[in-house]
Amino acid sequence: MNGKFHQQGVTLNELLLALAVGAVLVGLAVPAFTALTKNNRLITETNTLIGHINLARSEAIKRNQPVALCRSADPTAANPVCGGSANDWTTGWIVFVDDDDNGVFDGDLAKLLRRWAPSTSVTIRTNSTVNNNLQLDRRGGTNEGGNSGVFAICDDRGVGSGRQINVGPVGRPELQKPPSDCAAPTP
């Protein structure tokens, strides 16, 4: 050696400074990550519902038979049934061929097209037009005349972060952000 001392490692002060900077950065990142996670849940539930509405519409046209989405208190049950709390689709829904056009699933699993149980951190509410179900006729329309079916998808952040799906007479879902109301949406 040439007589010079070479320091290896870090001092306690340098380590504490690095930890403090790291803690500040983590403190700033956690709220942003939480918001990102909540946004992704809302987007997933919204896209899934839009996909199921589009599936019902295309199946109605393809099969030349009515197809319905109905809210279900337990869509994952072996034999799911339509029902649940009024205007609340938070527990899930089923999509089925509705050959008798009454909007009620008759238990024939061969007619069951899809079932979905959304994330428990989102709420899905509807207006009175689609309180129990969304029926699509043989042409893919809603049989609702000029009325719109409206679904509001929200979380604990309220209306400002939510999304709304409007389903008009032709049965095509349209996305609106933010919804008019998370409790009782209007077209």
pLDDT tens by residue, 29-46: 777 788 888 999 999 999
pLDDT of residue 120: 79
Ramachandran assignment for 107, one of left (phi > 0), alpha (psi -120 to 50 degrees), beta (any other): left
Asked whether the beta carbons of 142 and 126 are under 8 A apart, the reply is: no
In the chain, % helix, strand, coil (3-state, to 5) comes to 35, 20, 45
Question: Could you tell me the pTM of the whole model?
Answer: 0.81
Across the range 48-58, mean pLDDT stands at: 95
> Chain-centre distance of CA 177, in angstroms?
13
Q: Express each pLDDT in 147-174 by its tens digit.
A: 678 899 999 888 888 999 999 889 999 9
